[in-house]
């Protein structure tokens, strides 16, 4: 009896699932979703090459340092890097003394040793990059009711992360006349900025990089908007995956070992079972 009930319950759920799938497919065909401005005018990230791309890609340390400089002088006013410690910057080629100097330039939450009360103090290499706002309410008040996201893992959280960051930074533009003609109600609201590389086309963040020379690179590289955007995108690729080079370096020997082990296993199989197969066929 229990077996029959189990079969009937399973059959019921199978029929219900099939009906739901069929009904959903029929609805999608007969009542297609309305075309929206986001669907029509949203763009995929631009094609751009980074030194870390590909199976043999490696980080360009000079570019990472330039990207960090862009983050420090432009992006850090609104965006945090809560998963990155100052001491991690040694991987970019900074010396211990330089890391200490960089950390000291940031104020981080601490405790006053005399009163025991919360206070701000200069950062140390062991500290993590501090948040630019005390809380989300303060962040919203300063950014048109939007909380700037943490950038530590941004390039892993978005499809084509590095390309997405680069495209977003360089993608600000006036709304196309064709968009307003086709979707009159899709006009960018006051306080927001049109960007076709953002999911809903409008975002609260103003263009962060607006002119050449906005950041003066210490290595003499010409700081065009395109160059700065590419550099900071490369830096954020590193913050999201600082072990990328090590992973690639480890991956190739592992693949080589697996290939060798596969060939060795196949040859062993042939050798061990060679006589057995002859006996079976004789």
Q: Quick one: CA dihedral 213, 216, 222, 225, positive or negative?
A: negative
pLDDT at 282 exceeding the cut of 80: no
Query: Mean pLDDT over residues 17-29, rounded?
Result: 79
Determine whether the annotation assigns residue 228 to a binding site: no
28-37, 88-97, 248-257: which is most confident: 88-97
- Tens of pLDDT along 63-86? 999 999 999 999 999 999 999 999
pLDDT tens track for 237-263:
999 999 999 998 898 889 999 999 999
Instruction: Give the confidence band of 33 by pLDDT, cuts at 50, 70, 90.
Output: low
Q: What is the mean pLDDT of residues 125-146?
A: 92
The per-residue pLDDT of the chain, averaged, comes to: 90
User: Is 36 a residue whose pLDDT tops 90?
Assistant: no
Global confidence as pTM: 0.83
| % of residues, the chain, pLDDT over 70 | 96
What's the rounded mean pLDDT across residues 142-157?
A: 93
Q: Is 124 known to sit in a ligand binding site? A: no
pLDDT number for residue 39 = 85
Average pLDDT of span 104-112: 88
pLDDT band of residue 40 (cuts 50, 70, 90) is: confident
Predicted confidence at residue 278, as pLDDT, reads: 64
Portion of the chain with pLDDT greater than 90, in percent: 65
**pLDDT band with cut points at 50, 70 and 90 for residue 138:** very high
In this predicted structure, what is the pLDDT of residue 281?
A: 63
- Any binding-site annotation on 42? no
Calculate mean pLDDT across residues 181-193.
Answer: 91
Please indicate if the annotation marks 205 as binding a ligand.
yes
Kindly report which listed range (1-5, 10-14, 96-100, 222-226) carries the lowest average pLDDT score. 1-5
pLDDT in tens, 206-245: 999 999 999 999 888 999 999 999 999 999 999 999 999 9
Per-residue pLDDT for 193 more than 70? Answer: yes
Name the pLDDT band for 38 (thresholds 50, 70, 90). Answer: confident
């Amino acid at each position: 009896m229990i077996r029959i009930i189990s079969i009937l319950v399973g059959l019921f759920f199978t029929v219900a699932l099939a009906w739901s799938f069929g009904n959903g497919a029929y609805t999608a065909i007969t009542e297609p979703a309305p075309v929206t401005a986001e669907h029509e005018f949203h763009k995929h990230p631009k094609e751009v090459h980074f030194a870390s791309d590909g199976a043999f890609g490696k980080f360009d340390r000079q570019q990472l340092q330039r990207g960090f400089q862009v983050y420090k002088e432009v992006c850090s006013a609104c965006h945090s890097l809560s998963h990155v410690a100052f001491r991690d910057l040694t991987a970019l080629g900074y010396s211990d003394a330089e890391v200490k100097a960089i950390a000291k330039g940031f104020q981080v939450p601490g405790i006053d040793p005399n009163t025991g009360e919360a206070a701000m103090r200069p950062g140390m290499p062991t500290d993590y990059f501090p948040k630019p706002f005390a809380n989300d309410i303060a962040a919203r008040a300063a950014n048109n009711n939007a909380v700037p996201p943490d950038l530590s893992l941004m390039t892993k959280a978005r499809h084509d992360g590095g390309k997405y960051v680069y495209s977003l930074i360089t993608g600000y533009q006036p709304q196309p006349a064709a968009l307003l003609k086709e979707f009159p109600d899709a006009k960018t609201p006051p306080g927001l900025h049109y960007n076709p590389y953002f999911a809903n086309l409008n975002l609260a963040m103003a263009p962060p990089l607006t002119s050449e020379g906005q950041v003066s690179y210490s290595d003499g590289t010409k700081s065009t908007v395109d160059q700065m955007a590419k550099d900071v995108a490369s830096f954020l690729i590193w913050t999201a995956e600082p072990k990328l080079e090590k992973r690639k370096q480890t991956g190739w020997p592992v693949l080589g070992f697996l290939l060798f082990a596969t060939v060795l296993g196949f040859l062993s199989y042939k050798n061990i079972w060679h006589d057995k197969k002859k006996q079976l066929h004789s």
